Chain A
Amino acid sequence: MHELAVTQGILDVVIEAAQRNGGRHITAIDLVIGDLSSIVDDSVQFYFDLLSKSTLAEGATLRFRRQAATATCADCQHQFTVGVPLVTTCPQCGSVRLHISGGRDFYVESIEVNDEDSGGAADPQRQ
């Protein structure tokens, strides 16, 4: 259910952006999603296909750019990429004093629209 609400959020953002730009049909959506946000790409895609029907975004391709989270060791300054579940010790010095940054982004970066107004019809290449 989480992804349903998130997908509706994506749709609201992109349709508003498309309407501000002449109401042209959206062909692709670039999303930036942090690795620590619990969003499953496939699930977003599933809901998107349902929710986008008969909208300016119907048939648009979703492109996910995953943003990694970085751990920094407070003792040896070693930096490394982490996912969930978080690691508990520094692989270089064994310290447990780690700080995690990044991996929390959650936004629509850009959209691609038809170069010419297609009157709201879906991109034929996507049918």
Chain B
Amino acid sequence: MKIPVVRQILSANDQIAMENRAAFDAAGVFVLNLMASPGAGKTSVILATVDRLPQGVRAGVVEGDVASSIDADTVAARGLPVVQINTGGSCHLDAPMIHSALPHLPLNELDLLFIENVGNLICPADFALGSNLNVVIASVPEGHDKPYKYPGMFAAATVVLVNKFDLQEVFDFDLDYFRRGVAMVNPDAPVMPVSCRSGAGMDTWVAWLVQRVARRERGKD
């Protein structure tokens, strides 16, 4: 006997992601899920962004790594509240992991929460966490073909940063080609070249982010 089901395979994860989102909304925290290859500069983007936030905006961080607390130590050294999640081999964060981290976060004392996902351009795209924004960080040394090779990740992005853009000439990085690849799967996602090292482009990105947070506060996101 055939029984129709028609249910998303990751619906259990999606359900918990919605609960996470409700907890974030209740505490008034705006949440970013940062996804990228290993070494693209996720931690650097968090720190460079926090440095440029308007005064009084309180940020916290969840660090997802297969192992180690290197990133969490780096972030904690800057005085930010941080929770480290070690996935113990799993290639992505999922909603239950974030749910378990909630009691360890001072949500009522935060305005922004950065969730740094495991470095990987495949799996994290499929697992909703309950964030307001999916930030995909590409970087110049990885090459301009990444949107064509990993369309699922770029389709999941709300915004795409291209980090290490100060190296564009060294790597012959073709930004137009990259932009077209993103636009093919995700025409609405802005693509912003940045450099955490030189600071170029960071003000544009932070201004965009602050605007998105304000939009959410006006009830539009």
Contacts of A24 in B (CB 8 A): 1
* B window 81-103: CB within 8 A of A: 89-92, 94
Residue of B6, B155, B180 touching A109 (CB-CB under 8 A): B6
9-residue interface stretch from B33-41, B146-154, B209-217: B146-154
Q: Which residues of B contact A13 (CB under 8 A)?
A: 5, 7-9, 11-12
**Contact A2/B122 with A13-B9, A88-B148 known, Cβ cut-off 8 Å:** yes
User: A1 vs B89: C-alpha distance in the bound complex, in angstroms?
Assistant: 8
Bits for A88-127, please: 1 = Cβ < 8 Å to B, else 0. 1000000011111000101111111111000000000000
Complex formed: what's the CA distance from A82 to B138 in Å? 23
When C-beta atoms are compared, the residue in chain A nearest to B124 turns out to be: A2
Q: How far is the CB of B187 from the nearest CB of chain A, in Å?
A: 7
In the complex, which residues of chain B have a beta carbon less than 8 angstroms from the beta carbon of A114? 1
How many chain B residues touch the partner (CB < 8 A)?
A: 37
Say yes or no for B10: interface residue by CB 8 A criterion: yes
B177 / chain A contacts, CB cutoff of 8 Å = 88
Chain A residues within 8 Å of B89, by CB:
1
The interface bits of chain B over 7-27 (1 if a CB of A lies within 8 angstroms of the residue's CB, else 0) are 111111100000000000000
Contact A107 B6 (CB under 8 A): yes
Q: Are A14 and B5 in contact (CB under 8 A)?
A: yes
Contact of A107 among B9, B147, B152 (CB under 8 A): B9
B181 within 8 Å of A by Cβ? Answer: yes
- For residue A10, CB closer than 8 A to chain B, the reply is yes
Closest to A105 in B: B8
Q: Is B48 an interface residue (CB 8 A)?
A: no
Contact check, B7 vs A6: say whether CB atoms are below 8 A apart. no
Query: Which B residues touch A6, using CB under 8 A?
Result: 9-10, 126
Q: B residues within 8 A CB of A115?
A: 1
Beyond A6-B126, A37-B126, A85-B148, whether A100 also contacts B6 by CB under 8 A is no
- Docked-complex contact B151 and A84, CB < 8 angstroms: yes
Contact of A36 with B187 in the complex, beta carbons under 8 Å: no
The CA-CA distance from A2 to B148 in the complex, in Å, is: 20
CB-CB nearest 3 A-B residue pairs? A2-B123, A9-B9, A86-B148
Q: Which A residues contact B (CB, under 8 angstroms)? A: 1-2, 5-6, 9-10, 12-14, 17-18, 21, 24, 31, 36-38, 69, 71, 84-86, 88, 96-100, 104, 106-115
